[in-house]
């Protein structure tokens, strides 16, 4: 039997959201899953169901500003990596800790995978494993030419637009959702200088990454130009103490197009790869 839960969470600053969970009767591991930029947690329920069928308890975190979040970005509501890493994620982690997990796993898709690594670095010893899917550093030099050459321009333009508009109109641009300007600024700086940091974060996130000792399972999509294997290698290189394996998934294995988002509609092959890494 698998319990389907929507757990109400309140962060230290009053931000409210729901942690969606799929919890089997006797889980082998507990996974805290972080979505991609602009993607609501509910879109990962097929992945959660597939992993729960394998005996993994899955908790889907909700990013501030998406889905069940009580906040929406605007000219008067702004946030960045500081709020996500030091306010919201600790609130979700506290719910997992209450369930006494047998094995702690943190993972995510795209930006979620990046911040999963950063959060693991902030909380040494809490997570034994990292599951990274269609993710990688946005640093422009890790992308193949000629696309990589265009990224510095994008990383300067998007924060400028977000500050001018008050938010990034991602739906109109085809990139993310309506995003907080501080979040886009923090993300773009990583893309330009290859250093994870955030406005108002006092601790050294890069030092935390170097201290991560979890076993990492990385999965990239064969047709994913937003997160190519070179980008994933760049992210893994920041964690030299991890033992990492990387798999490239083809359309034939998925049964659908193997790109940045379509895999979410048919996640069984990805779930199987992640689960088998526990063995």
Q: pLDDT (tens digit, 9 = 90+) per residue, 223-233?
A: 999 999 999 99
Question: Tell me, what DSSP letter sits at residue 221?
Answer: E
Mean pLDDT of 170-176: 88
Mean pLDDT of 154-180: 94
Contact 34, 43 (CB under 8 A): no
Main-chain dihedrals φ then ψ at residue 70, nearest 5 degrees: -80, -5
pLDDT band with cut points at 50, 70 and 90 for residue 102:
low
Q: What is the pLDDT of residue 1?
A: 81
Q: What is the pLDDT of residue 119?
A: 98
Q: What is the pLDDT of residue 279?
A: 78
Mean pLDDT of 114-129: 96
Mean pLDDT of 129-157: 97
98 pLDDT above the threshold of 80? no
Q: What is the pLDDT of residue 99?
A: 62
Place of tokens 């006092």: 202
Q: What is the pLDDT of residue 88?
A: 98
Please state, in angstroms and rounded to a whole number, the distance separating the CA atoms of residues 143 and 28.
36
Give whole-number Cα distances, 225 to 16, 17, 143, 193, in Å. Answer: 34, 31, 9, 20
Q: Using DSSP, how many helices (H) and how many strands (E) does the chain show?
A: 11, 10
Question: What is the chain's mean pLDDT, rounded?
Answer: 96
157 pLDDT above the threshold of 70? yes
Residue from 215, 177, 191, 180 nearest 84 by CA = 180
Q: What is the pLDDT of residue 159?
A: 97
Contact 161, 22 (CB under 8 A): no
Please state, in angstroms and rounded to a whole number, the distance separating the CA atoms of residues 179 and 170.
7
100 pLDDT above the threshold of 70? no
CB neighbour list of residue 128: distance below 8 Å, 6 or more residues apart = 103, 104, 105, 214, 215
Please state, in angstroms and rounded to a whole number, the distance separating the CA atoms of residues 100 and 110.
28
pTM of the predicted structure, to 2 decimals: 0.97
67 pLDDT above the threshold of 90? yes
24 pLDDT above the threshold of 80? yes
Instruction: Tell me the angle at which helices 147-165 and 181-193 cross, rounded to the nearest 10 degrees.
Output: 150
Residue scoring higher pLDDT (181 or 174): 181
Residue 129 preceded by cis peptide, ω within 30:
no
pLDDT tens string 7-21:
999 999 999 999 999
């Amino acid at each position: 039997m698998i319990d389907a839960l929507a757990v109400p969470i309140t962060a230290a600053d009053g931000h409210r959201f729901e942690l969606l969970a799929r919890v089997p009767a006797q889980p082998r591991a507990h996974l805290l899953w972080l979505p991609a930029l602009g993607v609501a947690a509910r879109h990962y329920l097929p992945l959660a169901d597939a992993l729960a069928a394998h005996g993994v308890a899955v908790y889907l975190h909700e990013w501030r500003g998406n889905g069940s979040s009580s906040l929406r970005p605007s000219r008067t509501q702004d946030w960045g990596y500081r709020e996500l890493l030091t306010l919201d994620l600790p609130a979700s982690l506290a719910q997992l800790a209450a369930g006494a997990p047998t094995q702690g796993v943190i993972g995510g898709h795209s930006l979620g995978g990046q911040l999963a690594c950063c959060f693991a670095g902030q909380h040494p010893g809490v997570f034994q494993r990292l599951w990274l899917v269609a993710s990688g550093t946005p640093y422009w030099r890790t992308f193949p030419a000629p696309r990589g050459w265009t990224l510095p321009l994008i990383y300067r333009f998007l924060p400028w637009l977000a500050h001018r508009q008050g938010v990034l109109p991602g739906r109109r641009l085809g990139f993310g959702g309506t995003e907080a300007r501080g979040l886009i600024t923090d993300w773009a700086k990583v893309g330009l200088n290859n250093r994870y940091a955030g406005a108002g974060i006092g601790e050294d996130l890069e030092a935390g990454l170097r201290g991560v000792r979890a076993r990492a399972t990385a999965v990239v999509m064969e047709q994913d130009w937003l997160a190519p294997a070179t980008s994933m290698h760049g992210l893994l290189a920041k964690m030299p103490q991890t033992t990492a394996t990387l798999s490239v998934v083809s359309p034939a294995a998925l049964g659908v197009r193997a790109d940045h988002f379509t895999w979410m509609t048919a996640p069984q092959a990805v779930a199987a790869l992640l689960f088998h890494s526990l063995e």
